[in-house]
């Protein structure tokens, strides 16, 4: 009897863990509305101390929606950086079929994009890892041992000063969700580019 209960118990633990993470994310999102300004300042100060950046890896969950768009936008915004994108699941896939046309309508062509996974080699190749959510940041730190000093939430550079630090995943959502995510990415890339311009060249 115990053996038959084990899968149910394991599933229950997984469900409880996921519910805990979702609750934590909602609580932190509310805290962001109160502390985002301070968090933005800390992020900017930390990258200023880090100095000049040369190689950046932009990361989201599946590397088919947010990170390829953000990487392409960042490459268009500055020629001084080597920029790539990656994710945690599903290598070898094209950009999302709903998001790609929306990206193209905004001047970002993702037709040649193919998703790839974050690798251990990336930890030594890149100076900075731009992520969409805390989960991405925590996963990089836990799985690859990347210092938190080299990871930043892209939303911390949103030039509009919006209270949301995280950029929500539009995967499987209506067009409106893609426009919202891409708008937030565009504002954040502009803010990040301004920050780059303030860094010393040495």
53 in a structural domain? yes
Cα→Cα distances 197→51, 78, 181, 192, Å? 11, 10, 24, 9
Q: Is residue 103 part of a domain?
A: yes
Name the residues annotated as catalytic.
60, 66, 169
Q: How many domains does the chain have?
A: 1
Domain range for 104 is 2-197
Residue 202 forms part of a structural domain: no
Domain for residue 132, yes or no? yes
Q: What is the pLDDT of residues 142-154, one digit of tens each?
A: 999 999 999 999 9
Instruction: Order the strands of the 128-131 sheet from edge to edge.
Output: 82-86, 55-59, 128-131, 151-153
Evaluate whether residue 83 is within a structural domain: yes
What's the rounded Cα separation, in Å, for the pair 165 and 157?
9
Q: Considering the domain boundaries, does residue 94 fall inside one?
A: yes
State how far the Cα of 19 lies from the Cα of 6, in Å rounded to an integer: 20
CA atoms of 74 and 58, how far apart (whole Å): 9
Residue with tokens 């994310």: 25
What global pTM score does this model have?
Answer: 0.81
Query: Given this model, what pLDDT does residue 67 score?
Result: 98
Q: What is the CATH number of the domain that holds 148?
A: 3.40.50.2300
The helix (H) or strand (E) run that includes residue 103 is: helix 99-105
Residue 166 in domain: yes
pLDDT of residue 49: 72
Instruction: State the DSSP H helix or E strand holding residue 6, giving kind and residue range, or none if neither.
Output: helix 2-50
**DSSP secondary structure of 50-86:** H----EEEEE-SSSSSHHHHHHHHHHHH-SS-EEEEE
Res 179: pLDDT = 98
């Amino acid at each position: 009897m115990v053996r038959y209960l084990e899968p149910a118990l394991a599933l229950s633990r997984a469900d409880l863990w996921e519910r805990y993470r979702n609750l934590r994310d909602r609580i932190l999102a509310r805290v962001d509305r109160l502390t985002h300004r301070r968090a933005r300042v800390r992020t900017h100060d930390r990258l200023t101390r880090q100095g000049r950046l040369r190689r950046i890896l932009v990361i989201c969950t599946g590397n088919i929606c947010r990170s390829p768009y953000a990487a392409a936008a960042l490459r268009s915004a500055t020629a001084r950086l080597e920029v790539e994108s990656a994710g945690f699941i599903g290598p070898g896939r094209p950009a999302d079929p709903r998001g790609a046309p929306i990206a193209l309508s905004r001047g970002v062509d993702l037709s040649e994009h193919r998703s790839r996974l974050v690798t251990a080699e990336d930890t030594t190749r890149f100076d900075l890892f731009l992520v969409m959510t805390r989960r991405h940041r925590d996963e990089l730190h836990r799985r690859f041992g990347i210092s938190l000093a080299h990871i930043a939430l892209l939303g911390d550079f949103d030039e509009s000063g919006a209270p949301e630090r995280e950029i929500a995943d539009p995967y499987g959502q209506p067009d409106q969700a893609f426009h919202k995510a891409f708008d937030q990415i565009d504002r954040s890339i502009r803010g990040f580019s301004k920050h780059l311009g303030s860094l010393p060249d040495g």
